[in-house]
Amino acid sequence: MAVQQQVNKFIQGIGASSGIVIGKAYLVERFKVRLPQKRIEEGAVEGEVKRFLNAIQDSRDQLTEIKEKILDPQMRKHAFILDVHLMILNDEMLIQDTVDTIRQKQVNSEWALDLTLEKLDTAFKAIEDEYLRERRSDLHYVSSRIFRNLLGKKHDDITKIKGKVIIVAHDLSPADTLQMNLEHVAGFITDIGGKISHTAILSRSLGIPAVVGLEVATSLINGGDLLIIDGDTGEVVINPSEEVSQSFIKRKRRIQTLEREILKYASLPAETRDGVRVRLQANIEMIEEVPSAKMHGAEGVGLYRTEILYLNRKDLPTEEEHFQTYRRLAENIYPSTATIRTLDVGGDKFLSNYSKNNELNPALGLRAIRFSMKETDIFRTQLRGILRASAYGKLRILFPMISGIEEIRQAKALVEEEKNGLLKAKVPFDQGIEIGAMIEIPSASITADLLAREVNFFSIGTNDLIQYALAVDRINEHVSYLYEPLHPAILRIIRGVVQSAHQAGIPVAICGEMAAEPAYALILLGMGLDEFSMNPISIPKVKKVLRLSRFEETQTLVDQLFQLPTASEIECFVRSWMAKRFPDHLIECYTEEVKA
Ligand code: PEP
Ligand code: MG
């Protein structure tokens, strides 16, 4: 159905992949099939079950064919998404529940499947974990394919897009994206989805601007409409006026200039004017992010979050999967080092079959290393994968949520046992692989002098450290005003940890979000941090400010901050210090520009 032509109409979504583009809309109509609801005769029930099972089999065959046809190596690495869809097509609940409904209620397949989906959808919506909740969209892609097969409808042929277009869809199936010739795609916009939906993840890793969660995009936009999309702010303009187009083009140029300016710092050493050298590394959770980490000047991976390997599936990753993933990471980042953090599940992230989120205080519950020490088979499998991969590059192991000496000793004992097993089996690994503890619980920071004797390095996780030290839930918006990285307590804790580590002769990294803020990075430098790990995009701006500073002046700044009694006074002091010290404002402006 054609919709009314919109002119200069602004709609707001969620910026999912950076960049501003202008282009013609290409509408992918995906879920707009009308579902017939019919009751069926008793004698026709088994025939209907067969019709449903055939549609499932057709869907499996089509997805397998799509998967096999992906030859582009850049796209092949995303083909795992199709495996997720194939897994859903084998889901007992989906199939059996629908078959049961056909038999018991004597209704047609479309109706029965729709009822099953309703149940599954409600269950998904109740999930708190954003990543898992987002996987509802996978269920929708798969069901839309089954419906189309049941109805004998053709699937949109989007392999033949011409020109350069902005893809507009209710939601994009990864199967769709994987089939597209990306040379013709300038951007993606979708009605649904969040920052970590597949469309978002995929477009970021492909470097294609995207806006998701627009809700009304497919109902307001006609194929061929001119669109402007801003993947940073989440704005979309339908058929913009000349004036609006010009203002976006101007903004795009300004951002590009600032980005180019700041990117110049990416490849330079992270060294202060008075010759103090630190290591700036990347926090990542997918191998696909390695090129971006390198482009932004990361000297290695300071935090490889491994949770993603466990999420979005019913079974557990095998030793071989762990091994292959970490091996690729080690090889891709070589000669730099990658720090692999063992599973940090629990709290706000949980595995479907294990740590059900039914604890009264999940943040204080069976999280991270506690979970690993309880489910030692899962832990040992991961450890063997890391150890085996360590033969192919430089890897370090990092244990999350360490609260004291016993825990670190127990975890290290398991590493030793797995090492012995590999030695006996003559499997190669790095016998000197370094082991680190995350410092994110106050008890660990208070006993840092003791812990420092047990490990090769520390990594301070300020995201959690602030939560636990200040008793402020990191995801509770009602107390977020109390979440203060510059609280005098936090500064004292960090300084104490660095002193203990240095006395024991081990380096200290920081991998919490705090490291990515230039002003905070200078304070951390002044407190003696050796390594800074952050999202790749922030590396150049932090590098720039470090290179413009003298270590000595950051030490003086820290001394001054330690005289101040409250977080707000410290924050104020730092802001005015930065404004005086960097009057050209380029660093601040850049951050605001991107957020604006
Ligand atoms: C932290 O707590 O600072 C950290 C880096 O870990 P995560 O955010 O994954 O808990
Ligand atoms: Mg943490």
Asked whether the beta carbons of 531 and 303 are under 8 A apart, the reply is no
What's 183's DSSP letter?
G
- Residue 335, preceding bond cis, omega within 30 degrees? yes
Catalytic residue among 78, 198, 296, 487: 198
The structure's pTM equals 0.66
**3-state class (DSSP) for residue 106:** coil
89 with 177, same domain: the answer is no
**Secondary structure (H, E, C), 225-284:** CEEEEECCCCEEEECCCHHHHHHHHHHHHHHHHHHHHHHCCCCCCCECCCCCECEEEEEE
Work out how many domains the chain is built from and give that number. 3
Cα 27 to chain centroid distance, Å, stands at 28
Q: Please report the beta strands in 274-386, taking only residues with DSSP state E, as ranges in sequence order.
A: 279-284, 301-305, 337-341
- What atom in ligand 1 is closest to the CA of residue 459? 5
Tell me the CA–centroid distance for residue 542 and ligand 1, in Å. 19
- Identify the residue whose C-alpha is closest to ligand 1 atom 6: 461
Tell me the CA–centroid distance for residue 88 and ligand 1, in Å. 31
350 with 405, same domain: the answer is yes
Kindly state whether residue 588 falls inside one of the protein's structural domains.
Answer: no
Q: How many CA atoms lie within 13 A of 23 on its CB side?
A: 24
The pLDDT value recorded for residue 589 is 36
- What atom in ligand 1 is closest to the CA of residue 464? 2
> How far apart, in whole angstroms, are the C-alpha atoms of residue 355 and residue 347?
9
Q: What is the pLDDT along the chain (596 residues), one digit of tens a residue?
A: 445 678 889 999 988 888 899 999 998 875 555 678 889 999 999 999 999 999 999 999 888 887 777 766 666 666 777 888 888 888 888 899 999 999 999 999 999 999 998 888 888 777 766 666 667 777 877 888 898 888 887 666 666 677 889 999 888 766 677 677 778 899 999 988 776 566 776 777 677 899 988 988 988 998 899 999 999 889 999 999 999 999 999 988 988 888 788 888 899 999 999 999 999 999 988 887 898 899 999 999 999 999 878 865 668 999 999 999 999 999 999 999 999 999 998 765 556 555 455 677 888 988 999 999 999 999 999 999 999 999 999 999 999 999 999 999 999 999 999 999 999 999 999 999 999 999 999 999 999 999 999 999 999 999 899 999 999 887 666 777 788 999 999 999 999 999 999 999 999 999 988 998 899 999 999 999 999 999 888 899 999 999 999 999 999 999 999 999 999 999 999 999 999 998 865 444 333 333 33
CATH code, domain with 455 = 3.20.20.60
CA atoms 203, 209, 215, 216: torsion sign: negative
23 with 110, same domain: the answer is no
> How far apart, in whole angstroms, are the C-alpha atoms of residue 368 and residue 361?
14
The pLDDT value recorded for residue 591 is 39
Q: In terms of DSSP H, where are the helices of 152-213?
A: 174-179, 198-206
- Identify the residue whose C-alpha is closest to ligand 1 atom 4: 461
Tell me the CA–centroid distance for residue 86 and ligand 2, in Å. 33
Kindly state whether residue 596 falls inside one of the protein's structural domains.
Answer: no
Kindly state whether residue 14 falls inside one of the protein's structural domains.
Answer: yes
Which residue in the block uniquely carries the two structure tokens 């380096």?
507
Tell me the CA–centroid distance for residue 174 and ligand 2, in Å. 30
Ligand 1 site, CB within 6 A: 303, 305, 344, 440, 461-464, 511-512
329 with 440, same domain: the answer is yes
140 with 163, same domain: the answer is no
> How far apart, in whole angstroms, are the C-alpha atoms of residue 111 and residue 7?
39
Question: Which residue type, as a one-letter code, is found at position 434?
Answer: E
113 with 213, same domain: the answer is no
What's 33's DSSP letter?
P
499 with 373, same domain: the answer is yes
Rounded to a whole number of angstroms, the distance between the first and last alpha carbons of the chain is 36
166, 169, 173, 175: CA torsion to nearest 10 = -50
- What atom in ligand 1 is closest to the CA of residue 400? 6
The residue among 151, 174, 191 that closes a domain is 151
**Beta bridge partner(s), residue 168:** 27, 189
Q: Please indicate whether residue 511 is annotated as part of the active site.
A: yes
CATH code, domain with 111 = 1.10.274.10
Kindly state whether residue 591 falls inside one of the protein's structural domains.
Answer: no
Question: Count of CB atoms within 10 A of residue 318's CB?
Answer: 11
166 with 139, same domain: the answer is no
DSSP annotation string for 423-456: HHTT----TT-EEEEEE-SHHHHHTHHHHTTT-S
- What atom in ligand 1 is closest to the CA of residue 460? 3
Residue in 339, 438, 464, 513 to alter for ligand 1 test, most ligand atoms within 8 A of Cβ: 464
Tell me the CA–centroid distance for residue 414 and ligand 2, in Å. 22
Tell me the CA–centroid distance for residue 256 and ligand 2, in Å. 33
- What atom in ligand 1 is closest to the CA of residue 283? 5
Cα 239 to chain centroid distance, Å, stands at 33
The pLDDT value recorded for residue 258 is 80
Kindly state whether residue 582 falls inside one of the protein's structural domains.
Answer: no
Q: Please indicate whether residue 572 is annotated as part of the active site.
A: no
pLDDT, tens digit, for every residue of 190-206? 988 776 566 776 777 67
User: Quick one: tokens of 353?
Assistant: 């079959």
The pLDDT value recorded for residue 101 is 94
**3-state class (DSSP) for residue 97:** helix
**3-state class (DSSP) for residue 15:** strand
pLDDT, tens digit, for every residue of 389-402? 999 999 999 999 99
293 with 397, same domain: the answer is yes
The residue among 227, 258, 289 that closes a domain is 258
The residue among 105, 129, 151 that closes a domain is 151
**Secondary structure (H, E, C), 516-551:** HCHHHHHHHHHCCCCEEEECHHHHHHHHHHHHCCCH
Kindly state whether residue 564 falls inside one of the protein's structural domains.
Answer: no
193 with 174, same domain: the answer is yes
CATH code, domain with 15 = 3.50.30.10
Kindly state whether residue 35 falls inside one of the protein's structural domains.
Answer: no
183 with 112, same domain: the answer is no
Kindly state whether residue 594 falls inside one of the protein's structural domains.
Answer: no
Q: Show the domain range for 103.
A: 42-151
User: Quick one: tokens of 190?
Assistant: 């979708």
Tell me the CA–centroid distance for residue 300 and ligand 2, in Å. 19
337 with 394, same domain: the answer is yes
> How far apart, in whole angstroms, are the C-alpha atoms of residue 124 and residue 113?
16
- What atom in ligand 1 is closest to the CA of residue 462? 3
- Identify the residue whose C-alpha is closest to ligand 1 atom 3: 461
